[in-house]
Structure 1
Amino acid sequence: MSGKRIMDIEVLRAFAVLGVVFHHLQGLFSDPVPLLAVLRDWMGLWWGVDLFFAISGFVIARSLIPVLRRCSNRQEYWEQTRNFWLRRAFRLLPSAWLWLALMLLLCVFFNRSGAFGTVQANVQATLAGVFQYANFRFADAIFHYEYGSSFVYWSLALEEQFYLLFPLLILLCRKHLVWVLLALVAVQLFMARSSLLMSVRTDALALGVLLAMWSVQPSYQRWQPTFLRRSWTGISVLVIIGLLLSYLGTDRFTTAPYRIGAIAILSAVLVWIASYNRDYLMPPGRLQRVMAWVGSRSYGIYLIHVPVYFLVREVIFRLQGAGLPSPAGHPIVTLLCACVLIVLFSELNYRFVETPMRKRGTTLVQRLRTSRGTVASTEVTS
């Protein structure tokens, strides 16, 4: 089960990344766009990050917990943990570091408009992204000083910290892991979130892990939402929950201590529906295939969309300065240009960075397993 691709999970990844891309859309324009301001009054789509957290918690725990719990000794446990860390590193870091480097280069050499911010801020942001403390820098910078163009790396840093610590949590908590995770969710549920607490929020991650642990229990199948088998019912549920999440994400709920916890729970509900792998959220068809494509490229889209926005702004600025025709004053044309570049760059990144490096990580893990088996057999025969 753990090796299968769940189409509804891919749909949710697409749903999440499209929300984040829209949330940052004002960064594409040098001047405020009134329509975007009106839409943001009613739709706060930053919750896509929390949906990503819930998906990550579920997907990682679904494969990692059984593997680690089958280990018969500490040495085997640490070998499996090392293999997990290696696979995650090869999956995430090459793309992340590539786009950090490109953003820094654009800031230095292609930034006449200042769209990418200052060099000093971007150097510091790049270090934070490379060394995985971007979430702490983001919490410190918000409302105080310029972060830099790689601000989306705060959530990647939090996920990397989760990947690093989760195997240790499984080892330390053992049979009490469920209760520890439930306590982690309960403590955060009605907590007023400061900037620091927002940057280390783990309730959606914990709920995703709990869902993965529940999915191997008999009661999980008894709670299967079979009523969603009816045509388009699942899409209706997806849209309704998405609208509710978007409304919770508006400034109307800024001071509500429960809104982040509510967003985490609703995100986990969507992942729960998707987890049955029955296409409950979106039936097979053209729309599902498009969303699955977006979902499979969602990591690249997440990393790429902000630098593309700033790149388009810089190009428009230079065209205007040279007296040449540009999309300036035509938001739809500007948006289409950005969308084309995001699709192009994310596809190139997927084919030539993500996929080859993921395969290289898998090959390295297999090589380590083979060498370990060879050493073990040599020790036995000698």
Structure 2
Amino acid sequence: MHTYIGIEFARGIAAFMVLTSHYAYFLTEERTVLNFLWTGVDLFFVISGFVFAKLIFSSQINVGAFFIKRFFRIYPLYFVSLVIYLLLSGDNAEKVNYFINHIFFLHTTNSREEAFFFNAAFWSLPVEMEFYIFIPILIFFLKKYQKLLFGILIFSMFLKLFLYSHSAHPAINTYDILSVHLIGLLPEFLIGVYLHQLVVFSKNHSKSTLMKWNFISTCLGIALISMLAIYFIKNGDDGLRANILIGGWYNFACALSYAFLLFPLSSIDRWKSSENFHNIFIFIGSISYPVYLVHNAAPRLFQEIGVDMGGVGLFIACTTLTIIASIFLHHYIEEPFRVYGRNLSDKWRG
């Protein structure tokens, strides 16, 4: 599978966006652009759609081999990080039940307390799993009905509005739960799928044409994400809930803006640049998953050992610890299991 260096880099950026949004309170209690960076999760969803688009349109999949690779790519590091948070978590009568539900990716089916008990970032993992399950189904139907994808996108967008309009905020009901699962977030993945098709299409055009498209796409992305960020900073979550269209499609709009920005990044591997430059981008992408999983453990660890620190110092300390831990976890947990899963998948194919 072709590695898009710019997309790998964006994966790393997404992880550090989420990290920064969770560390924002170290620096200020005011709502700033740092808080808006939680939308890095939307960027992750777009990238996931992009990465699997080629497989989706290939009309061919060995389901067993696919799930073996996905399991060993995602689960081992997730489980290790879950144990880390278990050791750092406080006493709670439901902790064991929460842990068991997390093991089976069921932690976003009950309450906010459970979903965020160990690590707030864990909420997006069930969505990813559901997307993987959906991929073989999507391939099956697209094999016969290529144009069905656009219909699914439109339907899922309006389904998201329906779920949002029936939200029981600040309480939690079934519609709220469904909205944070694939049924409510599928449009963001599909934006990534369409982005991949646009990138493939662009390869048939001249360099000058591609440069024009990159410029237009960058301008559109910056303009849209800036408007979305300004709106959030000014109005916060209450502003999103004030209007069904804004609240229901806000994250989709963020995903679309990130897709505009990803388009020029997808052509980085065609730029004339040094190998070291490419290696840095690949490295940032390679530690994205552990950064995303373990960054919320750093503040808890410092608190547990009694480190009295705040502000910029705590931000730098937590970020540094996260990067060091992520490099270790990538080399000794994530990558070995990823290779093992790939080899096992190849054997399954025969």
TM-score tier, shorter chain, comes to 0.7 to 0.9
* In the alignment, structure 1 residue 267 sits paired with structure 2 residue 258: yes
Change (3 A) 1:206 1:228: closer
Q: Which residue of 2 is the match for residue 377 of structure 1?
A: none
Q: Which residue of 2 is the match for residue 5 of structure 1?
A: 3
Query: Which amino acid is the alignment partner of residue 187 of structure 2?
Result: D
Change (3 A) 1:290 1:277: closer
Root-mean-square deviation (CA, aligned residues, Å) is: 3.4
Identify the range of structure 1 (12-21 vs 291-300) with the bigger mean alpha-carbon deviation: 291-300
Change (3 A) 1:286 1:214: closer
Change (3 A) 1:192 1:261: farther
Question: Separation in 2 of the partners of 1:272 and 1:203?
Answer: 18
Question: Separation in 1 of the partners of 2:315 and 2:4?
Answer: 31
* In the alignment, structure 1 residue 87 sits paired with structure 2 residue 69: yes
Answer 1 or 2: higher relative contact order, Cα 8 Å, separation at least 6.
2
Q: Which residue of 2 is the match for residue 207 of structure 1?
A: 191
* In the alignment, structure 1 residue 101 sits paired with structure 2 residue 101: no
Q: Deviations over 1:109-148 (max 9, x none)?
A: xxxxxxxx434444333223221223333xx326xx7841
Q: Which residue of 1 is the match for residue 290 of structure 2?
A: 300
Q: Give runs of aligned pairs for residues 177-216 of structure 1, distance below 5 A.
A: 177-187=148-158, 193=164, 194=167, 195-200=176-181, 201-216=185-200
Change (3 A) 1:350 1:88: same
Q: Deviations over 1:182-204 (max 9, x none)?
A: 32454257557343354122211
Query: Which amino acid is the alignment partner of residue 262 of structure 2?
Result: V
Percent of pairs identical after alignment?
A: 22
Question: Separation in 2 of the partners of 1:220 and 1:191?
Answer: 40
Q: Which residue of 2 is the match for residue 165 of structure 1?
A: 134
CA deviation after TM superposition for structure 1 residue 37, in Å: 2.2
* In the alignment, structure 1 residue 348 sits paired with structure 2 residue 328: yes
Query: Which amino acid is the alignment partner of residue 129 of structure 1?
Result: H
Question: Separation in 2 of the partners of 1:155 and 1:36?
Answer: 26
Q: Which residue of 1 is the match for residue 344 of structure 2?
A: 364
User: Does the 8 A contact of 2:50 with 2:195 survive in 1?
Assistant: yes
Change (3 A) 1:332 1:133: same
Aligned length: 326
Q: Deviations over 1:72-129 (max 9, x none)?
A: xxxxx5xx1111111000100000011111211232xxxxxxxxx4344443332232
CA deviation after TM superposition for structure 1 residue 294, in Å: 2.2
CA deviation after TM superposition for structure 1 residue 220, in Å: 7.5
CA deviation after TM superposition for structure 1 residue 298, in Å: 0.5
Q: Which residue of 2 is the match for residue 74 of structure 1?
A: none
Question: Separation in 2 of the partners of 1:225 and 1:122?
Answer: 53
CA deviation after TM superposition for structure 1 residue 339, in Å: 1.7
* In the alignment, structure 1 residue 226 sits paired with structure 2 residue 211: yes
CA deviation after TM superposition for structure 1 residue 274, in Å: 2.9
Change (3 A) 1:350 1:146: closer
Question: Separation in 2 of the partners of 1:84 and 1:18?
Answer: 28
User: Does the 8 A contact of 1:188 with 1:261 survive in 2?
Assistant: no
Change (3 A) 1:188 1:11: farther
1:134 partner SS: coil
Q: List runs of 5+ in structure 1 lacking aligned partners.
A: 27-31, 71-76, 108-116, 317-325, 371-382
Q: List runs of 5+ in structure 2 lacking aligned partners.
A: 168-175
CA deviation after TM superposition for structure 1 residue 235, in Å: 8.1
Q: Which residue of 2 is the match for residue 155 of structure 1?
A: 124
* In the alignment, structure 1 residue 126 sits paired with structure 2 residue 124: no
User: Does the 8 A contact of 2:299 with 2:318 survive in 1?
Assistant: yes
Question: Separation in 2 of the partners of 1:296 and 1:312?
Answer: 25
Change (3 A) 1:211 1:36: same
User: Does the 8 A contact of 2:287 with 2:330 survive in 1?
Assistant: yes
* TM-score, length of structure 1 as denominator length: 0.73
* In the alignment, structure 1 residue 247 sits paired with structure 2 residue 237: no
* TM-score, length of structure 2 as denominator length: 0.79
User: Does the 8 A contact of 2:6 with 2:266 survive in 1?
Assistant: yes
User: Does the 8 A contact of 2:115 with 2:122 survive in 1?
Assistant: no
Q: Which residue of 2 is the match for residue 380 of structure 1?
A: none
CA deviation after TM superposition for structure 1 residue 336, in Å: 2.3
User: Does the 8 A contact of 1:184 with 1:206 survive in 2?
Assistant: no
Change (3 A) 1:10 1:20: same
Q: Which residue of 1 is the match for residue 38 of structure 2?
A: 46
Query: Which amino acid is the alignment partner of residue 125 of structure 1?
Result: Y
User: Does the 8 A contact of 1:42 with 1:247 survive in 2?
Assistant: no
